[in-house]
Amino acid sequence: MALAILIMAAGKGTRMNSDLPKVLHPANGKPVIEYVLDTAGKLHPDKTVLIVGHQAELVVEATRNYPVIPVLQEPQLGTGHAVMQAEPPLHSFFGEVLVLSGDAPLVRSRTLEQLIAFHLSEKASATVLTAELDDPSGYGRIIRDRLSGDVLRIVEHKDASPEERLVHETNSGIYVFNSKVLFEALGELRADNAQQEYYLTDVFGICFGKGEKVSAWLVENADETRGINTPEQLREAEELLKIPK
Q: What is the pLDDT of residue 151?
A: 87
199 in Cβ contact with 145 (< 8 Å)? no
Full set of structural domains in the chain with CATH: 3-241 (3.90.550.10)
Q: Is the pLDDT of residue 49 over 80?
A: yes
pTM: 0.95
238 in Cβ contact with 245 (< 8 Å)? no
Q: Is the pLDDT of residue 22 over 90?
A: yes
Q: Is the pLDDT of residue 14 over 90?
A: no
Q: What is the pLDDT of residue 225?
A: 95
pLDDT, tens digit, for every residue of 94-110? Answer: 999 999 999 999 999 99
Lowest-confidence pick of 13-22, 85-94, 169-178:
13-22
CA angle 141, 171, 37 (to 5 degrees): 175
Catalytic residue positions, numbered: 15
**Helix axes of 179-186 and 202-209: crossing angle, nearest 10 degrees:** 100
User: What mean pLDDT, rounded, does the chain reach?
Assistant: 94
The CA-atom distances, in angstroms, between 15 and each of 40, 63, 141, 224, 240 are 26, 23, 23, 21, 21
Q: Is the pLDDT of residue 193 over 80?
A: no
Provide, rounded to the nearest whole percent, the portion of the chain with pLDDT above 90: 82
Q: What is the pLDDT of residue 35?
A: 98
